[in-house]
């Protein structure tokens, strides 16, 4: 919480548009509260030696952090120079990308299954 307050104060001086979106938007309180709850929950879970729960909550904390940053940046990728629409690939490229990604999944998932089967699972 202290680091978040310091970052918000520094952003106000160096990136005022970002700070206004980060601090003054309707989504700020719910996303910030969820991030804080997940972070505190991860610490409590670690303290109680609940490693899996702590891992899930740490992932949620990082994910919510990225969601908050992205929402504050929207519609820019690099404010004020590069908008999301300007950075998108041409439509023909996007149409070709989906079948290629699906083919990659078909190849990759059996390989991952075999890899985990060989190295992760206990041998009987």
CA distances in angstroms from 24 to 18, 19, 82, 86, listed in the order given: 10, 8, 23, 26
DSSP character at residue 88: S
What residue segments make up the domains of the chain, in order of their start?
A: 2-83, 89-124
Q: pLDDT digit string (tens) for 19-51?
A: 888 878 888 889 989 999 999 999 999 999 999
97 or 123, which is more confident?
A: 97
pTM value is 0.68
**pLDDT digit string, tens, across residues 46-92:** 999 999 999 999 999 999 999 988 888 888 988 889 999 999 999 99
Q: Which residue has the tokens 């075999």?
A: 114
d(CA 45, CA 61): 13
Q: How confident is the model at residue 122 (pLDDT cuts 50, 70, 90)?
A: low
**pLDDT grade, residue 16 (50/70/90)?**
confident
């Amino acid at each position: 919480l202290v680091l978040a307050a310091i970052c918000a104060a520094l952003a106000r001086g160096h990136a005022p548009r970002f700070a206004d979106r980060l601090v003054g938007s309707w989504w700020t309180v719910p996303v910030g509260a969820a991030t804080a709850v997940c972070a505190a929950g991860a610490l409590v879970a670690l303290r109680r030696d609940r490693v899996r729960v702590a891992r899930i909550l740490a992932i949620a904390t990082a994910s919510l952090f990225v969601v908050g940053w992205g929402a504050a940046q929207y519609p820019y990728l690099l404010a004020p120079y590069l908008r999301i629409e300007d950075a998108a690939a041409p439509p023909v490229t996007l149409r070709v990308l989906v079948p290629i990604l699906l083919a990659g999944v078909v190849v990759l998932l059996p390989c991952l299954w075999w890899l985990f089967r060989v190295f992760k699972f206990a041998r009987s």
